[in-house]
Amino acid sequence: MKSRRILIDHGSGGLATKELIAELFQPLFSNPALDRMEDSALLEPQNGKIAFTTDSYVVDPLFFPGGDIGTLAIHGTINDLAMQGANPAALSLGLILEEGLQMDDLQKIASSLEKASKQAGVPIVAADTKVVPQGKADKIFINTSGIGFVEDGVELGSHLAVHGDAVIVSGTLGDHGIAIMGTRAGLGLDTTIMSDTAPLHKLVHILLGKFGNAIRCFRDPTRGGLATVLSEIAVASRVEIQIDEASIPIKPQVYSICELLGLDPLYLANEGKLIAIVKGSAAEEIVLTMRREKLGENASIIGRVHRTETARKGRVVLLTKIGGKRLLEPLSGEPLPRIC
User: Is position 15 an interface residue for a copy of itself (rule: CB under 8 A)?
Assistant: yes
DSSP for 214-243, written as a single string: GEEEEE---TTHHHHHHHHHHHHHTEEEEE
User: Is position 80 an interface residue for a copy of itself (rule: CB under 8 A)?
Assistant: yes
Residues in 278-307 at the binding interface with a copy of itself, rule: CB under 8 A: none
Residue whose CB is less far from a copy of itself, 133 or 292: 133
Residues pairing with 94 in the sheet: 128, 143
Residue whose CB is less far from a copy of itself, 138 or 259: 138
Residues pairing with 92 in the sheet: 126, 145
Residues in 101-140 at the binding interface with a copy of itself, rule: CB under 8 A: 125-128, 130-133, 135-138
Neighbours of 58 (CB within 10 A): 18
Residue whose CB is less far from a copy of itself, 205 or 223: 223
Interface with a copy of itself (CB under 8 A), residue total 81
Residues pairing with 218 in the sheet: 276
User: Is position 249 an interface residue for a copy of itself (rule: CB under 8 A)?
Assistant: no
User: Is position 30 an interface residue for a copy of itself (rule: CB under 8 A)?
Assistant: no
Options 31, 56, 253, 298; binder of a copy of itself; rule CB under 8 A: 56
User: Is position 219 an interface residue for a copy of itself (rule: CB under 8 A)?
Assistant: yes
Provide, rounded to whole angstroms, the least separation between the CB of residue 42 and a copy of itself: 5
Residues in 158-197 at the binding interface with a copy of itself, rule: CB under 8 A: 158
User: Is position 52 an interface residue for a copy of itself (rule: CB under 8 A)?
Assistant: yes
DSSP strand pairing (315-319 vs 325-327):
antiparallel
User: Is position 84 an interface residue for a copy of itself (rule: CB under 8 A)?
Assistant: yes
Give the integer Cα–Cα distance in Å for 170 and 221: 11
Options 186, 262, 324, 333; binder of a copy of itself; rule CB under 8 A: 333
115-to-110, 257, 281 alpha-carbon distances in Å: 9, 31, 39
CB 207 within 8 A of CB 299: no
User: Is position 70 an interface residue for a copy of itself (rule: CB under 8 A)?
Assistant: no
Give the integer Cα–Cα distance in Å for 36 and 42: 9
Give the integer Cα–Cα distance in Å for 296 and 203: 8
User: Is position 328 an interface residue for a copy of itself (rule: CB under 8 A)?
Assistant: no
Residues in 228-247 at the binding interface with a copy of itself, rule: CB under 8 A: 228, 232
Classify burial at 79, counting beta carbons within 10 Å of its beta carbon; exposed 0-12, middle 13-18, buried 19 or more: buried
CB 58 within 8 A of CB 137: no
Stretch that binds a copy of itself, among 34-42, 237-245, 293-301, 311-319 (CB under 8 A): 34-42
DSSP for 194-206, written as a single string: -------HHHHHH
Give the integer Cα–Cα distance in Å for 94 and 115: 17
- Please give the backbone phi and psi of residue 163, each rounded to the nearest 5 degrees, phi first: -45, 130
User: Is position 35 an interface residue for a copy of itself (rule: CB under 8 A)?
Assistant: no
User: Is position 319 an interface residue for a copy of itself (rule: CB under 8 A)?
Assistant: no
User: Is position 95 an interface residue for a copy of itself (rule: CB under 8 A)?
Assistant: yes
Residue whose CB is less far from a copy of itself, 12 or 111: 12
Residue whose CB is less far from a copy of itself, 244 or 264: 264
Give the integer Cα–Cα distance in Å for 310 and 195: 39
Options 20, 74, 86, 122; binder of a copy of itself; rule CB under 8 A: 86
Stretch that binds a copy of itself, among 77-85, 112-120, 163-171, 314-322 (CB under 8 A): 77-85
Residues in 141-160 at the binding interface with a copy of itself, rule: CB under 8 A: 141, 143, 145-148, 150, 157-158
Provide, rounded to whole angstroms, the least separation between the CB of residue 145 and a copy of itself: 4
Residue 65: asked if its preceding bond is cis (omega within 30°), the reply is no
Residues pairing with 307 in the sheet: 239
What kind and span of H or E run contains 114? helix 103-120
